[in-house]
Structure 1
């Protein structure tokens, strides 16, 4: 009861910086996919390894991260996550200098491992900083700043990473001596500088949090003392929530990964890579606006009901985009961002409902579902390579159908 009278405005304000930072970093992957695809002459499936390496880390590291958080607490988990992510960003420098695609993928895996620890620690922490009734609304509000990061990311990525023109294999063969060295140096610098800046920013935030006074919550202390977690998998609404996170992250990442390529197509929008990256910011910007709106709407509409409505709206938009197959398809797909907005934090909050002292470890289990961002883009890539890019958007459509079901039925905790 004592925690309800405490003001958590300071800690929440500090945590929004984290949400912003990992939103920005994650959205840069959508810029890396087309850039590395051109640079290394990759197929859609090969290029999808960027997202696979990044999001597979969530599957591998989420459960261990939950254990770390349950033993060391939220604050230490957040600091460790920031430092590991900084190491991943720093490795982009040698990866770009050596022009090594495998090293790029390793760097992304390490970076994502750090962000996994951040997710596992920060999401339940925000969820617990206040009453259970406002948990979904509160998490949506802080996630809005995550969306601000994903909105800024494509703009900055387009300016720095996509500004350097990528030459084809035949064009590179024509370059010799200083011209070839200058080309490779420019390509390396376009990736190195943004990620070196991110390295410095992550270390700075870690230092700020180290010397900040974040409250230790009662359920956090109990989580650290309690070592039993076998009953987690008996909570059906949590298990369904893991699948919901898998479906949502997979669909969101898949759409973001192939949106630039879609908008470059002559039969859709015929945009340049840089112009398409600016449009991508509308996709993520819609999520930011939607989360601010959603945090208000959830004070009047049940969170699960709003989740189901939004998922069904996305199903309609994707179906129309595939059926119409022209410039309208661009706007339909971009509009998905607005309805995506409340999905991740709402699924997360609903899945953690009534778990008490198991919340920290349950967060680790939930974050395992983020591996959807690694697998769903590959499935969509396979469909794109064998059918067409626009037709492949039926893959995220199926994901949103499941989310609609979760909002209607799967979210209910068993009594």
Structure 2
């Protein structure tokens, strides 16, 4: 038995013999929460239509999910410290499934508030899952390969970014849209029938997702997972129990800020992708949905390519390059027209791909016994996904429904990430 540089007990042959199957199970979680997140890109324009919403109201889909991360970050960290990785993962899966099942009555009643509650519950489950799974994937092996391992796991989150929009386009989007004037001109029975049919299309995908989550939870119950313990006494745990004390690590504090802006940028891009494709490139709803799947494919490719490139360069250098290119692509999306807009959006998928796991792994470098607490902060920072899409929707509404102007918001986010990759990542201690 030996102790890795992060302070965790690691058996010499553990990576090959003991950690491979647990790592595969954890990778499946990255895929599942990727499905939930990337269905939102289809869900936002769909519920905008089915529930007759404006841009800011439709962005509350993201607000509900990502505000849950903020609310659950501290409780999730407490669960992780008290009950460990395995039980935290099971709780997260069951909570996630309950939110998915709640889509059925929400669709039956065509009640947007109930959809938002379901999404909030899903977000609570995701927060618990990510708080446990991200550090678990990072420390499930030698510390020197943590970034590589986390990017590999996150690559399957990227795979979900391709699969979810295609599933959503096939099973949720009808391809039929009416203007407000056309709906008003319809007989009331026809209008209500159309809106009810639109709302009902979400039931099968989310019911299926809920069942799958319960099956995975059962699998985790019966499979033995190694509970990696940090090398810390009860006295030390008590001394380090202050939730804010971990921010004495400046590189972690800046990682929390960078993650806040990154998640905001990613969610902005995917949430308004379909409307951006319709307005900027002039494609129809279904075609835009399939292009969102292509975006997901490029996101996935970017994750695998990024994982490969990390063998030849440092994580912070690769992050800086990807952030700089993203700034340029966001500008093209704002000021371009036609297919150029779609190419820029696809490029953003590729170059955003490594940002979350890279920021996460840079943020927990050298934290040892503080890793679980740090994970709570990094998961809490996902609340950026609640803030920035709403701001983007407000910008779009202010700009007379010009979706392209809303992409000024993610452009600013990429500039913050670029700063972090050049300065903020550096490991140093002391109060900020």
Q: Hey, what does 2:6 align to over in structure 1?
A: none
Q: Hey, what does 2:91 align to over in structure 1?
A: 80
Which stretches in structure 1 are left out of the alignment for 5+ residues? Answer: none
In the alignment, structure 1 residue 259 sits paired with structure 2 residue 273: yes
Q: Hey, what does 1:320 align to over in structure 2?
A: 332
Q: Hey, what does 1:289 align to over in structure 2?
A: 301
Q: Hey, what does 2:171 align to over in structure 1?
A: 160
Q: Indicate conservation of the 8 Å contact 2:175/2:286, yes or no.
A: no
| Alpha-carbon offset, residue 220 of structure 1 | 8.4
Q: Hey, what does 1:3 align to over in structure 2?
A: 11
| Alpha-carbon offset, residue 288 of structure 1 | 0.8
Q: Indicate conservation of the 8 Å contact 1:66/1:360, yes or no.
A: yes
SS of corresponding position for 1:226: helix
Q: Hey, what does 1:123 align to over in structure 2?
A: 134
Q: Hey, what does 2:422 align to over in structure 1?
A: 408
| Alpha-carbon offset, residue 4 of structure 1 | 3.6
SS of corresponding position for 1:353: coil
In the alignment, structure 1 residue 305 sits paired with structure 2 residue 317: yes
SS of corresponding position for 1:134: helix
Taking the TM superposition and a 5 Å limit, the aligned residue runs for 1:389-408 are 389-408=403-422
Q: Indicate conservation of the 8 Å contact 2:147/2:361, yes or no.
A: yes
> Greater shift after overlay, 305-314 or 219-228?
219-228
Q: Indicate conservation of the 8 Å contact 1:70/1:220, yes or no.
A: no
Distance 2:372 2:235 in 1: 9
Q: Hey, what does 2:7 align to over in structure 1?
A: none
| Alpha-carbon offset, residue 243 of structure 1 | 0.8
Distance 2:191 2:232 in 1: 58
Equivalent residue in structure 2 for 1:235, among 249, 252, 276 = 249
Q: Hey, what does 2:104 align to over in structure 1?
A: 93
Q: Hey, what does 2:209 align to over in structure 1?
A: 198
Aligned length: 412
Q: Hey, what does 2:200 align to over in structure 1?
A: 189
- After superposition, the C-alpha distances for 1:159-182 in whole angstroms (9 at most, x for unaligned) are 1110263555653773466x5675
Distance 1:367 1:313 in 2: 25
Distance 2:126 2:216 in 1: 13
In the alignment, structure 1 residue 42 sits paired with structure 2 residue 50: no
Q: Hey, what does 2:23 align to over in structure 1?
A: 12
Q: Indicate conservation of the 8 Å contact 1:92/1:107, yes or no.
A: yes
Taking the TM superposition and a 5 Å limit, the aligned residue runs for 1:327-342 are 327-342=339-354
Q: Hey, what does 1:132 align to over in structure 2?
A: 143
- After superposition, the C-alpha distances for 1:20-64 in whole angstroms (9 at most, x for unaligned) are 111011111111100111112211111111111111101111111
> Greater shift after overlay, 213-222 or 201-210?
213-222
SS of corresponding position for 1:390: helix
| Alpha-carbon offset, residue 384 of structure 1 | 1.3
Aligned CA distance change for structure 1 residues 172 and 202 (closer, same or farther; 3 Å) = farther
Q: Indicate conservation of the 8 Å contact 1:72/1:224, yes or no.
A: no
Q: Indicate conservation of the 8 Å contact 2:96/2:122, yes or no.
A: yes
Distance 1:248 1:4 in 2: 36
Q: Hey, what does 1:114 align to over in structure 2?
A: 125
Aligned CA distance change for structure 1 residues 404 and 229 (closer, same or farther; 3 Å) = farther
Q: Indicate conservation of the 8 Å contact 2:335/2:404, yes or no.
A: no
- After superposition, the C-alpha distances for 1:288-310 in whole angstroms (9 at most, x for unaligned) are 11111111111210001100110
TM-score for the superposition, normalised by structure 1? 0.95
TM-score for the superposition, normalised by structure 2? 0.91
In the alignment, structure 1 residue 56 sits paired with structure 2 residue 64: no
Q: Indicate conservation of the 8 Å contact 1:35/1:166, yes or no.
A: no
Q: Indicate conservation of the 8 Å contact 1:164/1:190, yes or no.
A: no
| Alpha-carbon offset, residue 123 of structure 1 | 0.3
SS of corresponding position for 2:272: helix
